[in-house]
Chain A
Amino acid sequence: MKDILWLIQNTLSVTFRKKKNIILYLCMPLIGIFISLLVYGGDQKAILHVGIVNQDNSEIASDTIKFLKGLENVKVVEIPNAKTKDKIISGDVDSVITFEKGYSESVLSGNPAHIQITSIKGAQITGFVKSYLYQYVDNISTISIAAAGNQQTFKQMYHDFQQTNYKLTTHSLEDTSKNKNMTNQTIGFLIMIMLMSAGNMSEIILLDKENRTYFRLLSTPINARKYLLANVSVNMIIMTIQVLITLTIMKILFNIGISMSFWQAAFVMILFSFISVGLNLVIVAFSNSRSAAGAMQNLIITPTVMISGCFWPVEVMPKTLQKIADFLPQRWTLATLTKLQEGNSFSSLSLNFMILIAFAAAFFLIAVYRFSRNNSTQNFV
């Protein structure tokens, strides 16, 4: 045990004395945060400018506009019809919502229509407003259907609904698609960096063999098993640090609210660390040089990271690729985190955890089997 600790300590100190490694292992994971800040806009309290064109001029339409004005992070300006395009192009507003004539009738008839949403920045920007707006409109439709044509009942219910709704409108962006996307992006990048780091650290095994230091180590009280254990430990230490740094900075400094508990997210990512070490040990066990291992890493890690939705949502990919993604541990890691974000309880996700653990166990078994075979053919004790 003492010798394993000595080995771990030495590997860490040699690794982190190189600037290159500090950048790779400790700074690179944060790049995901910067990317998602760039892509999705950094400030959580960013104001969404929405232009409203009201062609309906009914009570329901103006209540709807009031509802939108009440949303946090949304600034509503009413604009004349003709200026829609100009306003968007000039960047005065991020999106324009048009209530066409007939809007209020369609809502009351239980079949909402005549709403137009225009945006040039794409779905991410409008998604949040859209989801709230549709929810609101659906509710009014439901009330209308429930009232079954009775004006009095409708007025009463509508009034009550407006009252409660104002209390609800202080919802912030917490659980919006934007936030989910930012988390996915950051964690997706972290996953890739973790796989690369574990790849590098596992290659030390091959480097030691190439430099013959491995054989010298085996002539000391270290044996092959202890050596492997030390390597896995170093890997785990580095990846745990990466996870903690990334999550901390996400949570505190950049204020990207990961809408789940810090430790739950950390738990999932540490499960993934085991998968990452396991996978890279398999790669190392099957390669006899560092260049072979490097090639295998590129062949395996890069495509699987892309397919499993670490860089973009899986939903944008063709169905076949999505099916393949279901067999990838990175996908399961992200999916588990998403479920946590969606408010599923920790205990309800035990199946997900089991699957992640199974991935790790499978990789470790394959690697250990292969290593022991290597050793018996080359007869290293």
Chain B
Amino acid sequence: MNVLEIKNLTKKFSDFIAVDNMSLTVAEGEIFGFLGANGAGKSTTINMIAGLLRSNEGVINILGKNAAKNSRFAKMNIGMVPQDLAIYEDMTAYENVKFFAGLYGLRGQELNERVEEALEFVGLQDKHKSYPNSFSGGMKRRLNIACAIAHRPKLIIMDEPTVGIDPQSRNYILNSVRKLNEMGCTIIYTSHYMEEVEEICSRIAIIDHGKIIAEGTKEQLKSIITNTKDLWIEVKSTEKVNVESIKAINGVEAVQIDENLIKINSDTGVNNLNKIIEHFINSHLEIRSLQEKAPNLETVFLTLTGRNLRDQ
């Protein structure tokens, strides 16, 4: 059964088209990744799925039912983890989760058990009585998640749940996503972090300018670009690097600068290693190291969109 079906979904903000005729299907049991740069339209899509935004065109079905016409049913089955923290500072962690769970109609003993369960799930079971203002960024993010899962939704939508947090909290969150999935939840996961999406998602959609430009398992996505490879050259200083002239070298598809690393994506069919090294020597760029990389999602993304995932 399909947990989510989106057909020809379009959202305009006055003249600006944020989501452009998007169609998508997510089956039960998937962890579905939305990958896209800032402003690609991920949150807009997710907000429409969660019933927070009205679409201009298109249909959204949740568990086979039209979400616009069965909004209560849809909302009862969705747990939304918003991109921006949405928790009450003047309520304890326990009260926060209890409050939101109560809105789904849970009461009494069952409510308390579910709240306990949700807090334990995100590792905040020792923090029942603490107020969020005493929490680290990661703990707040975890509480933000707990508030969305206590009512045991079929579909959990997470909009960048790991943005700006410490690695420990991040691992915790990734593990809980896996656990939720094992327990039968279908998950839509949005992120800027390629590694995360690559690590946990069973299927991925790459979104750019409101459109899905590629969709599939990570293997499928990588196979799109196996005719290219990555060359990482570390230099002492990138000041003198001229990206355009590197791109002009035969076979080079994309060039990206990441601190002292120059990442060159190049056609496997062209042997241009000599030319590239020659260019560096001629430009008086001191090469410190040189690596050839197998393609990963980052390269897929870069080749498909010509953009970096994160703003530099």
Which stretch, A110-118, A209-217, A287-295, A329-337, touches the partner chain B?
Answer: A209-217
By a CB distance below 8 angstroms, the chain B residues around A217 are 103
List A343-381 residues whose CB lies under 8 Å from chain B: 379-381
| A14 & B88 in contact (Cβ 8 Å cutoff) | yes
List B96-119 residues whose CB lies under 8 Å from chain A: 99-100, 102-105
Q: List 23 A-B contacts (CB under 8 A).
A: A3-B102, A6-B102, A6-B103, A10-B99, A10-B102, A211-B86, A211-B88, A212-B85, A213-B86, A213-B88, A215-B52, A215-B86, A216-B80, A216-B86, A219-B50, A219-B51, A219-B52, A220-B104, A221-B72, A222-B103, A223-B71, A380-B52, A380-B53
| B51 & A381 in contact (Cβ 8 Å cutoff) | yes
Residue A167 at the B interface, CB < 8 A?
no
Residue A7 at the B interface, CB < 8 A?
yes
A221 to B51, CA, bound (A): 10
Partner-B contacts on A (CB < 8 A): 2-3, 6-7, 10, 14, 18, 211-213, 215-223, 379-381
By a CB distance below 8 angstroms, the chain A residues around B85 are 212
List B71-96 residues whose CB lies under 8 Å from chain A: 71-72, 75-76, 78, 80, 82, 84-91
Most buried by A among B76, B84, B102: B102
List B60-80 residues whose CB lies under 8 Å from chain A: 71-72, 75-76, 78, 80
By a CB distance below 8 angstroms, the chain B residues around A379 are 53-54
Interface size class of B (residues with CB under 8 A): 20 to 34
By a CB distance below 8 angstroms, the chain A residues around B100 are 216, 220
By a CB distance below 8 angstroms, the chain B residues around A3 are 102-103, 105
A211 to B86, CA, bound (A): 6
CB-contact partner of B103 in A18, A211, A221, A380, under 8 A: A221
By a CB distance below 8 angstroms, the chain A residues around B71 are 223, 381
Residue B204 at the A interface, CB < 8 A?
no
By a CB distance below 8 angstroms, the chain B residues around A216 are 80, 82, 86, 100, 147
By a CB distance below 8 angstroms, the chain A residues around B88 are 14, 211, 213
By a CB distance below 8 angstroms, the chain B residues around A212 are 82, 84-86
A10 to B53, CA, bound (A): 26
Q: Would you give the shortest CB distance from B143 to chain A, in whole angstroms?
A: 12
Q: Would you give the shortest CB distance from A321 to chain B, in whole angstroms?
A: 41
Closest A residue to B80 by CB, please name it. Answer: A219
Closest B residue to A17 by CB, please name it. Answer: B90
Closest B residue to A214 by CB, please name it. Answer: B86
By a CB distance below 8 angstroms, the chain A residues around B86 are 211-213, 215-216
Q: Would you give the shortest CB distance from B16 to chain A, in whole angstroms?
A: 13
By a CB distance below 8 angstroms, the chain A residues around B84 are 212
Closest A residue to B101 by CB, please name it. Answer: A220
